[in-house]
Structure formats: structure tokens, C-alpha cells
Structure 1
Amino acid sequence: MSQDPWQLRLVKKSLKKKSKLRLLEKTIPLSPGRTALDLGCAQGILGYFARRRGGFWAHADEDLANLRTAGEILERDLVQLRGGELPFRSDSFDLVLCLDYLEHIEDDDRALAEISRILKSGGEFIVVTPHTGRFYLLHKLRSALGLRLEYFGHKREGYSFPELKAKLERAHLLVKRKTTYSRFFSEFFELILNFVYIKLLARGPSLERRDGHIRPASAEEFDAQKKTFALYTLLYPVIWILSRLDSLLFFQKGYSLMIWARKQRDNLPD
């Protein structure tokens, strides 16, 4: 029996990506007639699952290496981005996903304006980004461990909800719903895995990719860490059980912020 592609094997052992996928699958209805954009598709992992919700999907990223890797599982409809203007006609898409991508963009206001431009009137926008605030202690721990923002390809740490809501509204994108996920324990284990990969396995960070280098980014890199991944697979059930301690922190917001927004119809409030 052939194994799943390495990207899918990786996501099955990622606490954060699995939480994100569950939220997306619950909130993106099946729709064979939609036209959707996976903006900042990276290695294609989330786009692979998103397009199961039906419709035509385009997958875009400025990093050619990412697109080549994504092509292994997405195969088609891949678009390389160049510059700040998105290479799509105005009013083209019913849905745009922007999953852990906005924090990588220098001019995020321009990016949101472009997203608004290519969305149809009443079109949906789903954005996921790191969540920031005064009491997010693991952001401070990340800095203490020497994991600088540029190692993740980030231009900023993330956004608070009020900050991002204001930016969305300036782009005529009205927030309909928000949630957070990945509370302390899930985020802690994710941080430790990032530290181990960047500092120990990858022999230092790579600053060449737009999304940093915090996990294997190609089949070759994954194969080079097969023994480590096998060990992690053995430990994963224990890590998963410990991450369930997040349920005790019901009073705490998560370290990842997901917002569902809708483009104003004809620039009038919905």
C-alpha cells in the first residue's frame, strides 16, 4: 500500500493544522459552483483539504519553491505572485482563504485592499493569523529561545482582534464571526517542535523562503528527517493527550485568530 504524500503525513501529526482544518470544514459549505482562492498556499497542505469543499480553486504564492512543492499534491491551478497587485480580475472570487499568510506581508493594508478588489460583492474572506495581546506569554518565550520573527518569515508578530478588525473594515470587509484556537498547551508543544527543527535538525534557520523554515518544506527535507519523524510519531499520542489540558483553560483565548468576513455589497453595509 502506498503511503500518503509527505505533506499529508505531516499534517496528521500537527495539533494546530488539525484544529484549523476542523474549523474550516465546519464553516466552508459544500459548493460545486464557487470560485475560490487559496492565497499564500505554501506547500499546499491546507489547500488540498479546502478544495474538497467543492468549486474551482486557484492556489497562489510568491515563493516558487512552495509552488513546486504544492504542485505535488495540488497538481494544477497554481499561480505565482509578483509584487503587491494580485494577478486576478476584480470581482472574480466567491471566497478567499488567507491562512497564516497576512503576517508575512509587508504592506498588509494594500494586501487587504487587493483581496477586497478581487472578491465579488458579498464574497467571503477567511483569515487566520497569530493572535497577539498582553498576556500571550509564549510569544515572550519564543524570543527568549532565540526564535526571531524572520525565522518564521513574519513581518510582525500577529494581530489583536480589534487591530485586524479595523484593517478589514478599511478594506470594506465586515467581520461576521471570529474565534481563537491553540491555547497554551497546544502552542507550547508547537513552539518546542519549531525550536527543535530550527536549532537542531535544520542546522540553523533559512531566511530564503517567504514563510521561513520551521518544518520540512520538501520531500527531500522530510526524507532526511524520517527517523526523527518516526520518533515523533511514537510520542504524538502522549503530546495529543497533554494538549487536551487546553480544555481546562476555557477562560483563555487561543494563540491563533480566525476571522470570517464578507465584502460589503456595493460598498454599503451588509
Structure 2
Amino acid sequence: MRPGTLLRWHALKHILKSEISEIEDGSSIFDIGSYDGEISYNLKRIFQNLEFVIVDIDKSGLQLAAEKGLDTLYTSALNLPVKDNKVDFILCLDLIEHVKEDNALIKEISRVLKKHGKVILTTPMQNGVSFPFLSRKKSKTINKNWGHVRKGYSLENIVKLFRNNDLMIVKISKYFNFFSRLVYRFNHLPRIPLKGKGLLYRMIIRLEPYIKNGAEEHIIVCKKR
């Protein structure tokens, strides 16, 4: 599992399991912009009677998802080939900061989501993700290399974006705490042995659900009105 995806899984797994456990067998979950569907693959092993669909524009990622036995959909998240009010649950994890037309993305998510269906969205806070003991310039470069078209969002802006598209926030949390950002930074220090970096990283990110100090990413759970 890629480092960022592994971090996200440990940070979100309790929330994901809690929210998804409430939906009925046979329900559909769209995982939008997740590349290879690693998080959905982990969830599918727990919730075997749910339909997970990986939505992306990267064919190589979708091929990897298909090899895991996941359903895939090669399409833009801005134009989903799905009728209104058809999807039970949507994951939109660290995608919106990559999309210029952010309102169009949320509008499309709201369109295909069933009434009272839920969305879990993650995205950096308004100043983006910084890294301890790295200059602001270097941190900004890392964010750009991730493909972000904007730094992130204030909570106020997220609330407004969702409210304008018939989505009501029901739960707010955060992740990517100070310690996780510190060990993530080690990936940019070649003098530290790779094996040591990986072991330390895996140990620290397991604490994500319990330590929120200095977290710089939003976790938002929404429900369609």
C-alpha cells in the first residue's frame, strides 16, 4: 500500500467501519478518485455483501483495482454515467484539492447520491499540509508534487460548499497529525535507511485515530438532505 494510502487507512478505518456498518447489504459504495482502490479493497474484505465501485480516470490504477476483484468505472467524477439518486454511499478521499471545478464535483456527488445517503470526504486544511523542520517553500513544493490545484479548505468554505449542494455535515474530525507529518518527512531524507523509515512510519501512523494534535487534514461526513 502506498504511504499516503496507508496513512489514510489507519486514520479513517474506525470512521469508515462505523458509517458503512449502518447501510444495508447490497448497497453501492462509489470510491471516487482512489486510483487502485486499496481502501475499498480492505473494506470489501469486511463488508462482503456491499458493492464497491472504483471511479477514476487512470486506467493503470483501475486495472490494479480490477485485479483485486473490485468493480471499476473509467470516467470523470464531474460526469458520472449514473442516474440521479442511485448511489448509497460515496468516498471522496483527498480528491477535491486536485479538482479545479470543486463545486461541480460536489454537485455531481450530490446528484447521484440517494436521499439520506452519506459521503466521507477528506482534504487538507486551508494552508495545505506542512512538514516539521522543512521550510514553507519545500512543504509547498511537496503539495504541488502531489498534484494539488489549491492548498486546501477552511471548514467554513467546506460547510458552504456542501450546503449549496444539499449536503449536511453530520460529523467532523481531522487527521495527519504532527508526528505523522514528521515521519512522512523522512521520505525526503535519503540518508535515513529505507527499512528504518518504513518501520517507523508504520508504527507512528497507527496512532492517527487517537492523536489529533497538529492535524492538518479534514475528515468530513455528510448526509444528503
TM-score (norm 1): 0.69
Residues 253/105 of structure 1: CA separation in 2 closer, same or farther (3 Å cut)? same
User: Gapped runs of 5+ residues in structure 2?
Assistant: none
- Matched with 2:164 is 170
Contact 1:43 1:66 in 2 (8 A): yes
Contact 1:127 1:259 in 2 (8 A): yes
Residue in structure 2 matching 1:65, options 46, 60, 64: 60
- Matched with 2:31 is 38
CA displacement, residues 22-77 of structure 1 (integer Å, 9 cap, x when unaligned)? 3322332164231211111212111112333341121100111221222222x342
Counterpart-to-counterpart distance in 1, 2:77 and 2:206:
42
Residues 179/259 of structure 1: CA separation in 2 closer, same or farther (3 Å cut)? same
- Matched with 2:73 is 79
- Asked if 1:26 is matched to 2:18, the reply is yes
Instruction: Tell me the SS of whatever aligns to 1:153.
Output: coil
Residues 245/76 of structure 1: CA separation in 2 closer, same or farther (3 Å cut)? closer
Residue in structure 2 matching 1:104, options 98, 102, 113: 98
Counterpart-to-counterpart distance in 2, 1:93 and 1:68:
22
Deviates more, 1:31-40 or 1:240-249: 240-249
RMSD: 3.2
Contact 1:36 1:94 in 2 (8 A): yes
Q: CA deviation at 1:142?
A: 5.7
Contact 1:129 1:159 in 2 (8 A): yes
Identify the structure with the greater helix proportion: 1
- Asked if 1:263 is matched to 2:192, the reply is no
Task: Kindly provide the amino acid, as one letter, of the partner of residue 261 in structure 1.
Answer: C
- Matched with 1:221 is none
User: Gapped runs of 5+ residues in structure 1?
Assistant: 1-6, 201-227, 265-270
Q: CA deviation at 1:243?
A: 6.4
For 1:135-174, list aligned pairs within 5 A. 137-138=130-131, 141=135, 143-144=137-138, 147-174=141-168
Q: CA deviation at 1:246?
A: 8.0
- Matched with 2:89 is 95
Residues 16/233 of structure 1: CA separation in 2 closer, same or farther (3 Å cut)? farther
Counterpart-to-counterpart distance in 1, 2:3 and 2:62:
18
Contact 1:142 1:191 in 2 (8 A): no
Identify the structure with the greater strand proportion: 2
Matched-pair identity in %:
23
Contact 1:11 1:18 in 2 (8 A): no
Residues 78/138 of structure 1: CA separation in 2 closer, same or farther (3 Å cut)? same
CA displacement, residues 108-142 of structure 1 (integer Å, 9 cap, x when unaligned)? 100100000000111111101112349x7539746
Residues 102/245 of structure 1: CA separation in 2 closer, same or farther (3 Å cut)? closer
Counterpart-to-counterpart distance in 1, 2:203 and 2:39:
24
Q: Which has the larger radius of gyration?
A: 1
Counterpart-to-counterpart distance in 2, 1:191 and 1:45:
23
Counterpart-to-counterpart distance in 1, 2:66 and 2:210:
40
Contact 1:13 1:236 in 2 (8 A): no
Contact 2:28 2:87 in 1 (8 A): yes
Contact 2:29 2:87 in 1 (8 A): yes
Instruction: Tell me the SS of whatever aligns to 1:109.
Output: helix
- Matched with 1:212 is none
